[in-house]
């Protein structure tokens, strides 16, 4: 899909460049939104766009021209630059490769493809073109007041609530610490550290570790460590070694008051028994 959009990138960039000139936005300060004359753009702000209207904005950007927006997502094209600005395309919904967005920013902006960014700006128009197969594509056009790089988590699954725990359970010298839990709208992140204080190898079973919410048992989901920058808990743990990382579970429904985490870990001493490492998690 990236290749499709790149084909029309230059055309769209030119259109946005012309648009930026028309609204007196050339050489603008990305923090203040002021141009050479020190005046604001000719497009008068209608104020911040309500969160509930963001989906509608992507359906009909022209209708929301002039509204201030904050869009978080992933740059998927190499930025184009001319004397008036920097132009790039991003997904406002990178998880599903949707909410195509064209951004016009100040010439001083340094941004690269594949970066996660937060764009604050104003909706200026809707742009359309054809992909490689002749299909119609459209994108919301935003004149950026500011653009900053953000983390994978902030773009893909912003933390709504953090539960600090730092609870430790020790069985026969194999310690498991539940450090914290981060709740997001689309996932739950569980931060764990395991320390092997024994003289034999230990094993952590990611797939055997369950998050119990009410009468539901949640299973771990795939974690792309390279993309997310989040570390995985190592499965094979040598004597004297500690490992820490993150387990990903589905999102927890709002209104949940308590959860329970059961960690599956043991060591190679078959003369002893290990019960699941159990943590009660209050959700206030």
Evaluated on CA atoms 223, 74, 51, 131, the torsion sign reads negative
Examine the domain organization and report whether 54 and 77 are in the same domain: yes
Examine the domain organization and report whether 85 and 189 are in the same domain: no
CB-facing half-sphere around the CA of 155: CA atoms within 13 A? 26
Examine the domain organization and report whether 110 and 248 are in the same domain: no
pLDDT in tens, 64-85: 999 999 999 999 988 998 888 9
Q: What share of the chain is helix, strand, coil (3-state, %, to 5)?
A: 15, 45, 40
Q: Pick the last residue of a domain from 128, 155, 182.
A: 155
Where in the sequence is the domain holding 248, given as residue range(s)?
A: 159-282
pLDDT at 42 (0 to 100): 65
CATH code (residue 174): 2.60.40.1240
Distances 4 to 16, 112, 141, 267 between C-alpha atoms, Å: 19, 18, 18, 51
pLDDT at 111 (0 to 100): 87
| H or E, element range at 69 | strand 68-75
Q: Which of 72, 32, 30 is nearest to 51 (CA)?
A: 72
> What is the rounded CA–CA span in Å between residue 38 and residue 29?
9
- For the beta carbon of residue 81, count every other beta carbon within 10 angstroms: 17
Q: Pick the last residue of a domain from 155, 190, 218.
A: 155
- Provide the domain count of the chain: 2
pLDDT in tens, 185-233: 999 999 999 999 999 999 999 999 999 998 899 999 999 998 899 999 9
User: Which of helix, strand or coil describes residue 193?
Assistant: strand
pLDDT at 191 (0 to 100): 98
**CA 208 to chain CA mean position, Å:** 27
pLDDT at 140 (0 to 100): 94
Examine the domain organization and report whether 273 and 143 are in the same domain: no
pLDDT at 135 (0 to 100): 66
pLDDT at 108 (0 to 100): 84
Along the chain (284 residues), what's the average pLDDT of each consecutive run of 10 residues? 40 43 37 34 84 94 95 92 91 92 89 93 85 72 94 94 96 98 96 98 97 95 91 97 98 90 97 97 87
Examine the domain organization and report whether 107 and 240 are in the same domain: no
pLDDT at 21 (0 to 100): 37
> What is the rounded CA–CA span in Å between residue 256 and residue 282?
9
Q: Pick the last residue of a domain from 101, 121, 155.
A: 155
Examine the domain organization and report whether 99 and 175 are in the same domain: no
């Amino acid at each position: 899909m990236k290749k499709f959009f790149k084909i029309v990138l230059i055309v769209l960039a030119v259109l946005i460049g012309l648009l930026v000139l028309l609204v007196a936005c050339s050489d603008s300060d990305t923090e203040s939104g002021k141009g050479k004359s020190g005046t604001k753009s000719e497009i008068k702000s209608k104020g911040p766009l309500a969160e509930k209207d963001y989906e509608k904005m992507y359906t009909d950007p022209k209708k929301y021209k002039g509204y201030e927006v904050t869009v978080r997502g992933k740059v998927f094209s190499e930025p184009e630059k001319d004397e008036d600005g920097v132009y790039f395309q991003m997904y406002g919904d990178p998880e599903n490769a949707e909410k195509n967005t064209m951004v016009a920013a100040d010439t001083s902006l340094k941004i690269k493809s594949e970066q996660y960014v937060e764009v604050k700006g104003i909706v200026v128009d809707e742009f359309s073109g054809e992909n490689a197969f002749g299909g119609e594509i459209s994108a919301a056009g935003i004149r950026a007041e500011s653009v900053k790089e953000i983390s994978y988590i902030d773009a893909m699954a912003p933390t709504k609530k953090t539960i600090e725990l730092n609870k430790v359970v020790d069985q026969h010298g194999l310690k498991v610490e539940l450090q914290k839990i981060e709740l997001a709208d689309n996932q739950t992140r569980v931060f764990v550290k395991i320390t092997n204080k024994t003289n034999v190898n230990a094993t952590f079973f990611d797939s055997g570790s369950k998050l119990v919410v009410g009468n539901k048992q949640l299973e771990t989901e795939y974690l792309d460590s390279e993309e997310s920058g989040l570390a995985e808990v190592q499965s094979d743990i040598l004597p004297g070694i500690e490992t820490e990382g993150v387990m990903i579970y589905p999102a927890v429904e709002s209104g949940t008051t308590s959860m329970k985490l059961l960690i599956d870990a043991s060591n190679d001493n078959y003369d002893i028994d290990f019960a699941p490492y159990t943590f009660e998690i209050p959700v206030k």
